[in-house]
Amino acid sequence: MGFTAIATKVYKDPGTVQWANSLKDNDEYLFTAAAKAWINFDGVGVISIKSSFNVGSIVDSGVGRYAINWTTDFSTAIYAVAGMPVGVGFVIAIDTATTCGTLNLRMTNNAGGDVDSTGVSVIAAGIQ
C-alpha cells in the first residue's frame, strides 16, 4: 500500500537525497518528520518544561506571555505553529513577530484577559 505525503526532503535510499516540493506517492520514499520542534510546559508560577524537542529554553514574558527559543533556528520566520492550552475558553496566539529562533506566544481567556495555564502544548513545522 502506498502513501501520499508532502515533504521537503525525501530519501529513496541511504545514498540518495532528493528534494521535492510536490506530492510523492510511492512505498520507497520516507520523509523527514513534519514537526521540527514541540514543547509541553507548565506556565503557572516558575515555568517548567514537561517535555520538548528542539527547544533550547522558554522565557516567562509576563502573565500569559511566553518566548520559546528553538535549539535549531528555522531558515526563515515563516513556519507553521499550532498550540493548545489547558483551560476552558483559553486561546493561544502568536503575540509578536515570529523570528527564526524565537516564537512569542500570548494566551488569553474568553474576555481577552491574559492568563497562565498549567499545561501548554505547542508544535512547529517548517524548513530549518
Mean pLDDT, rounded, for 91-99: 83
**Nearest to residue 93, comparing CAs of 76, 72, 115?**
115
pLDDT one-digit tens code per residue, 10-60: 444 445 555 444 344 444 444 444 688 999 999 999 999 999 999 999 999
> Whose grid coordinates read 507548565?
42
Question: What pTM, to 2 d.p., does this model score?
Answer: 0.73
pLDDT one-digit tens code per residue, 100-125: 999 999 999 888 899 999 999 999 98
Task: Say whether pLDDT at 66 is over 90.
Answer: yes
Task: Say whether pLDDT at 79 is over 90.
Answer: no
Question: How high is the pLDDT of residue 22?
Answer: 38
35, 125 in Cβ contact below 8 A?
yes
The more confident residue out of 127 and 19 is 127
Confidence tier at 126 by pLDDT (50, 70, 90): confident
